[in-house]
């Protein structure tokens, strides 16, 4: 199985990098894991609605350029569907069983995802209504992907 994260922006914080690297190493037992960073669009602090849409559209084009037709895409969205860890694990297992071996997770920039990216997604996932920094979301997501594999392997990690 191939797991890919497409994320907007660079990860600068050393402690996030270390945490993500640890889970990426653990994931090598279960899948090929990659992170693809696309540049964030530089924008001033206060933007009009039109400028916000333009920023999301440009970032969205960069994201869509990194997605292949065969990939099953999850977009991370506040209004996406919440799942328990067990439900998420079962979903990943079923996708693999039914021929979806390329899973891609998309984390947008500070303004969110473009409508085009949300439309391309096969599933929309939420980790609750909290707003989290996208750097932290990478760490949370990679841990949950690892947890899903551990649940599916019957490991006590999840307890």
* Mean residue pLDDT across the chain: 95
Q: Per-residue pLDDT tens for 107-125?
A: 999 899 999 999 999 999 9
State in Å, rounded, how far the first CA of the chain is from the last one: 25
What is the rounded average pLDDT of the residues 124-148? 93
Instruction: Kindly indicate the confidence band of residue 129, based on its pLDDT and cuts at 50, 70 and 90.
Output: confident
Strands of the sheet containing 32-38, edge to edge, are 32-38, 2-8, 102-107, 72-82, 123-126
Q: Is 76 annotated as a binding residue?
A: yes
Tokens at 26, concatenated: 């653990």
Q: Per-residue pLDDT tens for 64-110?
A: 999 999 999 999 998 999 999 999 999 999 999 999 999 999 999 98
Q: What is the pTM of this model?
A: 0.95
- Give the pLDDT score at 45: 82
Q: Is 154 annotated as a binding residue?
A: no
Domains of the chain, by residue range, sit at 2-41+50-158
Q: Which CATH class is domain 2-41+50-158?
A: alpha beta
């Amino acid at each position: 199985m191939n797991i890919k994260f497409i994320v907007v922006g660079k990860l600068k914080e050393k402690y996030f990098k270390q945490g993500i690297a640890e889970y990426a190493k653990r994931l090598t037992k279960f899948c090929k894991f990659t992170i693809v960073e696309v540049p964030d669009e530089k924008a001033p602090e206060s933007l009009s609605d039109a400028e916000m849409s333009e920023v999301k559209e440009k970032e969205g084009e960069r994201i869509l350029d990194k997605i292949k037709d065969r990939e099953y895409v999850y977009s991370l969205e506040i209004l996406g569907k919440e799942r328990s860890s067990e439900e998420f694990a079962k979903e990943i297992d079923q996708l693999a069983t039914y021929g979806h071996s390329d899973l891609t997770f998309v984390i947008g920039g500070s303004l969110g995802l473009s409508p085009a990216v949300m439309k391309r997604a096969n599933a929309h996932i939420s980790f609750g209504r909290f707003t989290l920094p996208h750097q932290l979301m990478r760490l949370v997501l990679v841990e949950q992907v690892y947890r899903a594999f551990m649940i599916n392997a019957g490991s006590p990690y999840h307890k």
